[in-house]
Amino acid sequence: AQSVTQLDSQVPVFEEAPVELRCNYSSSVSVYLFWYVQYPNQGLQLLLKYLSGSTLVKGINGFEAEFNKSQTSFHLRKPSVHISDTAEYFCAVSDPSSNTGKLIFGQGTTLQVKP
C-alpha cells in the first residue's frame, strides 16, 4: 500500500527566512503529488500539484516544490516566509492506476513563522 511520510511534524522558522518542508512517498510506480495548506479553523486549500512534465512546480503564495523520482520525494520550499504562512501543510499522493480519485495524506507539518 502507498504511504506518505512528512519527515518533520513541526518546523519553526523566523520571518523572511527560507523554509523546506519534506515529503517522501513509497510508491514505485508513477504517481500524482499534491501539497495542501490548512490555516487555523479552516479546511485544506490546494497549494500546488505535480502531474507530469517539469519537475519544478510553482504554486500559490510563492511556494514551489520539486519532484525527485529517484528519491521518491516532493519537498516544498519557499525562499522567504511571512507570518501569514503559519499553518499546517499536508503532502498527498494518488495512484494513477486507481479509478477512485483517492488521495493518501501525510501526517502534516506545522510551520511556525516567528517574528
Residues that bind other proteins (CB under 8 A): 9, 32, 34, 36, 41-46, 49, 51, 90, 94-103, 105-108
- Let me know: does 69 contact 5? Beta carbons within 8 Å: no
**Would you say 28 or 100 has its CB closer to other proteins?**
100
**Would you say 50 or 81 has its CB closer to other proteins?**
50
Shortest distance in whole angstroms from residue 33 CB to other proteins: 10
**Would you say 73 or 94 has its CB closer to other proteins?**
94
The residue to which cell 519534506 is assigned: 22
Could you count the other beta carbons within 10 Å of the beta carbon of residue 36?
21
Q: Work out the angle at residue 54's Cα, subtended by the Cα atoms of residues 75 and 63, and round it to the nearest 5 degrees.
A: 40
Shortest distance in whole angstroms from residue 28 CB to other proteins: 16
Distance CA 27, CA 94 (A): 10
Shortest distance in whole angstroms from residue 109 CB to other proteins: 10
Helix (H, G, I), strand (E, B) or coil at 70: coil
**Would you say 72 or 90 has its CB closer to other proteins?**
90
Shortest distance in whole angstroms from residue 31 CB to other proteins: 8
**Cross-strand bridge partners of residue 5:** 24
